[in-house]
Amino acid sequence: MKNIVLLGAPGAGKGTQAALIANEYNIPHISTGDIFRKNIKEGTELGKLAKSYIDAGQLVPDSLVIDLVADRLRQDDAKNGYILDGFPRTIAQAEALDKVADISVVIDIELPFETIIERLGGRLVCMCGETSHVSLLGDSKTCPKCGAEMYVREDDKPETVRARLEIYERQTAPLVEYYGKKGNMVTVDATVGTIEKVFEQVKKVLE
């Protein structure tokens, strides 16, 4: 059983790698970003609370995130391992996680900010969960997986991307030191290029 945490700046490819890991090892992919977006779409109370923060590129307050994740980890499908994507994002979240979970390994996906800005600048997403880039799809914007029209996330607009990277530096980057000290963190260099090459490295860590 493996309880995995993926760290990395927004746009470093956490979501993509998390989906591949979930599929390969047959464990649930728990993405707090996806949970919030689903709640926003469904118009739930949580969605309403989270939306203003997310659209502005800010973090949703710890108080709204921590219980949500603790509940999710208690569900049956998480008994045999899981991959956490986008949580923890603050030291307070990491400390709360330590109280309710035993994390086997933390994978920190590293990518320079310049590359991240290029990527997020053209990122397209689909309701089905697929992610792509304008440079791959051209004008069609048709989802390669389900055929729906892909769109730019509200928080992928340039000003918001800058805010997200600043917040990452200030609030999330300290987790690299936090987990580094615990000794269960491995860094994966995402400048190697393709999704497949990064995944090869990730699999080596998990074997």
What are the catalytic residues? 14, 89, 123, 153, 164
Touching ligand ADP, residues 76-135 (CB under 6 A): 86-87, 89, 93
With binding defined as CB under 6 A, does residue 13 bind ligand ADP? no
Please report, for residues 123, 126, 150, 159, 160, the alpha-carbon distance to residue 141 in angstroms, rounded to integers and kept in the order given. Answer: 11, 10, 5, 23, 22
- Site for ligand ADP, residues 153 to 172, rule: CB under 6 A: 155, 164
The SS3 of residue 166 is helix
Tell me, by CB under 6 A, how many residues bind ligand ADP.
Answer: 19
Radius of gyration of the chain (CA): 16
- Which residue's CB comes closest to ligand ADP? 33
Write down the least CB distance from residue 142 to Zn ion, Å.
Answer: 9
Q: What residues line the site for Zn ion (CB under 5 A)?
A: 126, 128, 130, 143, 145-146, 148
- Contact between 11 and 119 (Cβ < 8 Å): yes
Per CB under 6 A, 65 contacts ligand ADP: yes
CB of 119 to Zn ion, least distance (A): 19
Q: Does residue 33 belong to the site contacting ligand ADP (CB under 6 A)?
A: yes
**Smallest separation (angstroms) from ligand ADP to the CB of 27:** 18
Overall size of the chain counted in residues = 207
Which of these segments, 53-61, 73-81, 125-133, 181-189, binds ligand ADP (CB under 6 A)? 53-61
Nearest CA to 86 among 140, 8, 149? 8
Give the list of residues 6+ apart from residue 100 with CB closer than 8 angstroms, or none.
70, 73
The residues pairing with 189 across neighbouring beta strands, listed in sequence order, are 110
Q: Which is nearer to ligand ADP, 22 or 204 (CB)?
A: 22
- Cβ contact 121:135 at 8 Å: no
Token pair listed for 142: 């048709």
Residue 145 contact, options Zn ion, ligand ADP, none, Cβ 5-8 Å cut-off depending on partner type: Zn ion
Task: Say if residues 152 and 48 touch (Cβ distance below 8 Å).
Answer: no
Q: Which residues bind ligand ADP (CB under 6 A)?
A: 10-11, 14, 32-33, 36, 53-54, 57-60, 65, 86-87, 89, 93, 155, 164
